[in-house]
Amino acid sequence: MHARSASAALGRLSLCHRSFATAAAAPTRLAARKRRLIQTFTARVAVGTAVGVAGAVVASSAYWTQDAADCEEAKRRDLAAAAAAAAPTTSTPNSADAAATSGWVEDPLSHVRHPPTLRVAVFPTPLTLVGVGTRTVTFMRFQVYSAGLYVQPDGVRKAARAHPPTDASTTSGELSMQFLEQLYQQPRALRVSPVREAEFSHLRDGFARALETRVPSSLSPDDKAKCADDIKVFKQMFPRGAFKIGEELVFSVKGDEMFFEYQGQKVGQLKSGFVCRTLFSSYLEKNAVSTNAHAAFVDGLAKMVAA
């Protein structure tokens, strides 16, 4: 009996020893597996360089999906998303006033294109493009949409005759407030086209926040309440669903009325001096919602006055 007990004890000891050895070797095997993953992916990225980062990720995806570990699957998804975000996106122009895209102006940052002239229902003659720029959000500079500013050249020159675009108080890269006040009385439009497909609700909320943060603190409580009501109506004018690549949303202003056009069709109208002015001042004045759009618009207006 003692012999059998001793034999059983030795068996258990041997089993424990093997289990311990297996557990001790696990990190080594895991590290080796990780090295193989990295080596394989690196080789496939090198092969895919000729066709770009997106192609390399696609070429490697089959290998990554064979690994059952959740962390490796997450890596594959992150790499694919990063490649898609980095790839330039060119929208297919779909403006209501031009069938051909010849002569369209490409946004240098997002590669979205805008027509050189824009016809909107509220104006008898087409408006002229001033400049284009991309709206980005978050510290990662995620591109949301490209915006084009359109005006009547005669209206811009009329504003300049009332007050020059720059004066002694104007800093570099800015326009004088007196000139801008004159410009805000002229016909104008903002054409927006998405860099990638997004919900209209996201676009709407972004514009609404830009308006809300620019309500003057000096206003009376009643005037602030009026601005808040106007912003609510502004939000109701946006279409529902997805804003797709190649589509356009146009905000045109005549006096203190704003007209909304989606794909060449009028979808709403709002009477609000605050909204009509502030939507454009958020691009044309200091602390603009888009620094590159601000620079392009300011430069384009200055050139239009000098022409």
In which band, very low, low, confident or very high, does the pLDDT at 32 lie, cut at 50, 70 and 90? low
For the cut 60, the answer to whether the pLDDT of residue 6 exceeds it is: no
* pLDDT value of residue 216: 96
pTM over 0.95, yes/no: no
Compute the distance between CA of residue 107 and CA of residue 104 in angstroms, rounded to an integer: 10
Vertex 65 angle, CA 63 and 71, to 5° = 110
CA–CA dist 271, 231 (Å, integer): 11
- Average pLDDT of the residues of the chain: 78
Give residue 33's pLDDT band: very low, low, confident or very high (50, 70, 90).
low
- DSSP code per residue over 117-168: EE--TTSSS-EEEEEEEEEEETTTTEEEEEEEEEE-HHHHHHHHHHS-S--T
pLDDT digits (tens, 9 = 90+) for 248-288: 999 999 999 999 999 999 999 999 999 999 999 999 999 99
CA distance linking residue 288 with residue 33, whole number of Å: 50
Cα 288 to chain centroid, rounded: 15
| Cα gap 119→283, rounded to integer Å | 21
161-214 per-position pLDDT tens digit: 999 999 888 888 999 999 999 999 999 999 999 999 999 999 999 999 999 999
Per-residue pLDDT of 208-252, as tens digits, reads: 999 999 999 999 999 999 999 999 999 999 999 999 999 999 999
One DSSP character per residue, 271-289 reads: E-HHHHHHHHHHHHSSS-S
Token pair, residue 180, equals 């801008």
